């Protein structure tokens, strides 16, 4: 009922993890493989291991999450090797790539592109938390140049980009015009809303240590922005580019809303961190119940079919 496709990759369920959420170590990736998630996506990787930013660097409250992890990861070779040893090899395995320079990205993508058990590459253009490294997705020229140089390395690979949230129609149009020029298979909307500030009025302090307390916002806080980005790119991008929704998916209704706006698959971040991998079977059951109530048999019955007033 929830089966979906990203390019020619079949996912048994349209629900899987957002990069960053419980997907850094092999043990975490194994747990995703054993869960009801429809695919496994790695933490964004860099050329070598990174410890990430100082602790505390993750905070959550009833409305969502707030992070400045700073790209802690095991290095791209770890995620390449995991492809060959993972359990449930029939479940698609995607690797997220987030080099600190274009050269880093080109090197990793060339290597990962030649690793057959990796089903797809999600190029992260939107990490908000590395000091001194602005988000590529907000620099249109850099985004264009990145895609121009990455595209020839991905001729035989399913690939796509993880975008930051945009907030202005001009930026949606400009970004879509760039993306439409390249043979990408998907875009993931959205990364966390960067450079937010959550504070504790009791202690009169920031709640995370890195970058004077500034970090990326996720969870319920960001669902309306995520839906707006999914909808805009669904409308503006070539029809062969799948939209993967990410942002504020905690319940089956949230997943339904993302699909209604045009998402072909939906990632879960904050809720996965909070609840563990059991979130996938719960959200799946909630989404199926809602679909049954509405008389929908598959996600294509309502994907993108948001109605106007």
Catalytic positions are: 126-127
DSSP letter string, 199-228: EETTTTEESS-GGGGEEEEEGGGGHHHHHH
Q: Cβ of residue 72: shortest distance to ligand RRO, in angstroms? A: 6
Of 69 and 176, which has the nearer Cβ to ligand RRO? 69
Of 96 and 277, which has the nearer Cβ to ligand RRO? 96
Of 49 and 302, which has the nearer Cβ to ligand RRO? 49
Of 28 and 286, which has the nearer Cβ to ligand RRO? 28
Dihedral sign of CA atoms 184, 8, 254, 206 in order: negative
Cis peptide before 180 (omega within 30 of 0): no
Q: Kindly state the tokens that stand for 300.
A: 């294509």
Beta bridge partners of 263: 243
Q: Cβ of residue 288: shortest distance to ligand RRO, in angstroms? A: 29
Q: Cβ of residue 98: shortest distance to ligand RRO, in angstroms? A: 5
Q: Cβ of residue 92: shortest distance to ligand RRO, in angstroms? A: 20
Burial 130-154 (b: 16+ CB within 10 A, else e): beeeebbbbeeeebbebbeebeebb
Residues that bind ligand RRO (CB under 6 A): 20, 44, 67-71, 98, 124, 126-129, 191-192, 216
> For residue 281, what is the enclosing H or E element?
helix 278-294
Q: Cβ of residue 32: shortest distance to ligand RRO, in angstroms? A: 17
Instruction: Give the Å distances, CA to CA, from 70 to 23, 28, 163, 169, 285.
Output: 15, 19, 17, 29, 34
Of 122 and 254, which has the nearer Cβ to ligand RRO? 122
The Cα–Cα gap between 269 and 297 comes to: 26
């Amino acid at each position: 009922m929830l089966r979906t496709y990203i390019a020619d990759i079949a996912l048994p369920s349209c629900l899987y993890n957002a990069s960053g959420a419980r997907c850094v170590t092999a043990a975490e990736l194994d747990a995703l493989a054993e869960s009801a998630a429809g695919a496994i996506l790695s933490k964004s990787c860099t050329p070598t291991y990174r410890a990430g930013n100082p602790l505390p660097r993750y905070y959550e409250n009833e409305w969502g999450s707030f992070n400045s992890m700073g790209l802690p990861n095991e290095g791209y070779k770890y995620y390449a090797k995991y492809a060959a040893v993972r359990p449930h090899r029939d479940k698609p395995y995607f690797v997220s790539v987030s080099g600190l320079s274009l050269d880093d990205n080109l090197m990793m993508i060339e290597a990962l592109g030649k690793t057959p058990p990796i089903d797809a590459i999600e190029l992260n253009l939107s990490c908000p938390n590395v000091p001194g490294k602005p988000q590529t997705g907000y620099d249109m020229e850099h985004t264009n140049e990145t895609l121009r140089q990455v595209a020839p390395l991905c001729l035989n690979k399913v690939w796509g980009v993880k975008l930051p949230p945009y907030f202005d129609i001009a930026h949606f149009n400009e970004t879509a015009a760039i993306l439409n020029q390249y043979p990408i298979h998907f875009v993931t909307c959205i990364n966390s809303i960067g450079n937010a500030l959550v504070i504790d009025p009791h202690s009169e302090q920031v709640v995370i240590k890195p970058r004077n307390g500034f970090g990326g916002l996720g969870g319920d806080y960001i669902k309306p922005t995520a839906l707006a980005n999914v909808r805009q790119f669904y409308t503006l991008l070539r029809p062969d580019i799948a939209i993967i929704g990410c942002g504020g998916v905690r319940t089956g209704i949230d997943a339904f809303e993302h699909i209604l706006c045009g998402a072909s698959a939906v990632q879960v971040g904050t809720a996965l961190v909070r609840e563990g991998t059991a979130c996938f079977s719960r959200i799946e059951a909630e989404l199926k119940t809602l679909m049954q109530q509405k008389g929908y048999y598959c996600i294509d019955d309502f994907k993108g079919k948001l109605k106007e007033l």
